[in-house]
Chain A
Amino acid sequence: MKGSLKGGDDASVKGRHIKIDSDSDSEGFLEEKSRTSSKGSSVKGGGKIPSDSLKSGKKVSLDSLKSGGKASFNTPIGSGGKDYKTGKAGGKGSLPHAQAVKVPIVEVDLKLELDLPKDAKVLMDCEATEILEGIQDHLLVLSRDPEIKMPESFNKALQHSKYGSHYTDVQSVRQVLDTLKVNGVTDGEICMIGNILPESVDEVYALVPSLKDNRDNNEGPIKDVLSNLAKYRNPK
């Protein structure tokens, strides 16, 4: 009797442990952390630093920033002192990344690479505004309850989306844009067209270069869509 009880306890404890792991949701992240830190330490502990950092300039410079941005790390890359100073000033250190990579100045066909999580739907700014404004209305009442906490991004996102919503009738805009799906335009591209508020077809192709591949097919429909969209534009 006792024994069986004990066994039951053990099993449940085990089960719980596994659960803790899965609901903490940080497995992948922890792994990544340890990986980067081990990378950092391998860079740290050796006389090979200059050759390493020269070889894979981008990564090493970022790692070195993380581990304190020692000046000795930066010097082999070139403009070391500068990197370090501005990294500090920006607080986030995205600058050395830019300098180490040496970007070609003209990068015309930078295509949209939407990496969507599963079960996700892309919303245009104007659609998001509608939803967020709805939530904000509720918040006026809800915020009396101190237990209710909103993500810090909420207000910033609302502000951002308001800027991006230039239409009077969101449903019609969605309907108009959805007609492009037949011509092989993806959700991401549709969303971009809706957010950008383009004035001409050239502007669409310049800003969403992935559409160019299929220009023969989609140029006409896009023209129609633009003239349709103009009807729903918010007079400023």
Chain B
Amino acid sequence: MVFLEVEMPWNVLIDPDKLDAKGLLLRKAIIIRLLEDIANRKASKEHGYYVAVTALKKIGEGKVREMTGEVLFPVTFTCITQKPSKGEVLVGTVDKILKQGLFLKSGPMESIFLSEKTMKDYQYSAGDNPMFLNDKHSKLEKDTLVRFKIFGIKWIESDRHFQILATLAGDYLGPL
């Protein structure tokens, strides 16, 4: 999941009581509202997961909305996002183990599925502490650090997150 630094346009709505003639307070109100908007948005298909706002580049001219008295400011800002892309090499930790495969966590992504079918020679081994083992006694159990590759991504609009499929097929992939 590469980090991106993106410059984005946005529209910020400010309540009339936050409008202050002394410039700086208005700027603060805009920044707070922008941070809130971004936090609520969580992620987008285009940019990935929003991580942090780094700079407010430009505040355009505000337009009053007649019905509510709120003022709409067009702004430009830069933010850091994290976006998964196909073919990328990542490191994650094993979160859950099932017979059919396991779930990995990496950064903001909580359920990256690594199917038993894309795990090369690893075999499921049941027990109190289920794990996947291969011939060379390398094992995948809970909290193992794994280097994997992303080979499938799907954006789920309703939950605002990405479904990710991982693979270990390839050299230099596997537990670290």
Contacts and interface: CB of A to CB of B under 8 A. Distances in A.
B39 A150 contact: yes
Contacts of A160: 1, 82, 106-108
Interface in A79-127: 82, 86, 89-95, 97-99, 101, 103, 105-108, 110-117, 119-125, 127
Interface stretch (B2-10, B19-27, B124-132, B134-142): B2-10
A108 to B, nearest CB: 6
Contacts, number: 212
B170 interface: yes
Contacts of B157: 29, 32-33, 36
Contacts of A19: 11, 63, 72
B91 interface: yes
Contacts of A122: 2-4
Interface residues of B, number: 72
B17 interface: no
Interface residues of A, number: 77
Interface in B42-96: 42-43, 45-47, 49-52, 54, 63, 65-67, 72, 80, 82, 85-89, 91, 96
9 contacts: A29-B157, A90-B111, A99-B115, A101-B152, A110-B87, A112-B85, A119-B7, A154-B52, A157-B80
Interface of B: 1-8, 11, 13, 32, 35-36, 38-39, 42-43, 45-47, 49-52, 54, 63, 65-67, 72, 80, 82, 85-89, 91, 96, 98, 100-101, 103, 106-108, 110-113, 115, 117-118, 120, 149, 151-152, 154, 156-159, 161, 163-165, 167, 169-173
